[in-house]
């Protein structure tokens, strides 16, 4: 069976993802390779799961741009989309 899990954690003050998800101040738990393998394959305590899920990927290693809300219909997910009513998020802090 194929499955997908999306974990979120609180975005720290000043982190790029806090600007992207500005109303909920959250961010995806983006795991580096070693943590990915540990999370998927190792028997973990609840405390270790919480530690891994709270991993904060560095802002300087991320790039963001807005995409259209109807991206599934347009299939243009790599094209930047500008929302006139929203302030643009800077990728570099």
pLDDT in tens, 37-61: 998 899 999 999 988 887 777 778 8
> Alpha helix (H) ranges present in the chain?
16-20, 33-41, 46-53, 71-74
Q: Write down the pTM of the prediction.
A: 0.52
Task: Check residue 48 and give its pLDDT.
Answer: 94
pLDDT in tens, 4-37: 777 777 777 777 777 776 677 777 778 888 898 9
Report whether pLDDT(92) > 60.
no
Q: What gap in Å lies between CA 22 and CA 48, rounded to an integer?
A: 27
């Amino acid at each position: 069976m194929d499955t997908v899990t999306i974990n979120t954690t609180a975005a720290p003050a000043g982190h790029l993802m806090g600007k992207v998800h500005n109303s909920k101040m959250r961010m995806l738990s983006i795991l580096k390779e070693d943590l990915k393998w540990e999370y998927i394959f190792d028997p973990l305590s609840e405390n270790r799961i919480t530690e891994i899920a709270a991993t904060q990927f560095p802002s300087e290693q991320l790039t963001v741009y807005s995409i259209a809300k109807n991206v599934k219909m347009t299939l243009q997910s790599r094209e930047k989309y500008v929302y006139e009513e929203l302030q643009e998020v800077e990728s570099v802090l």
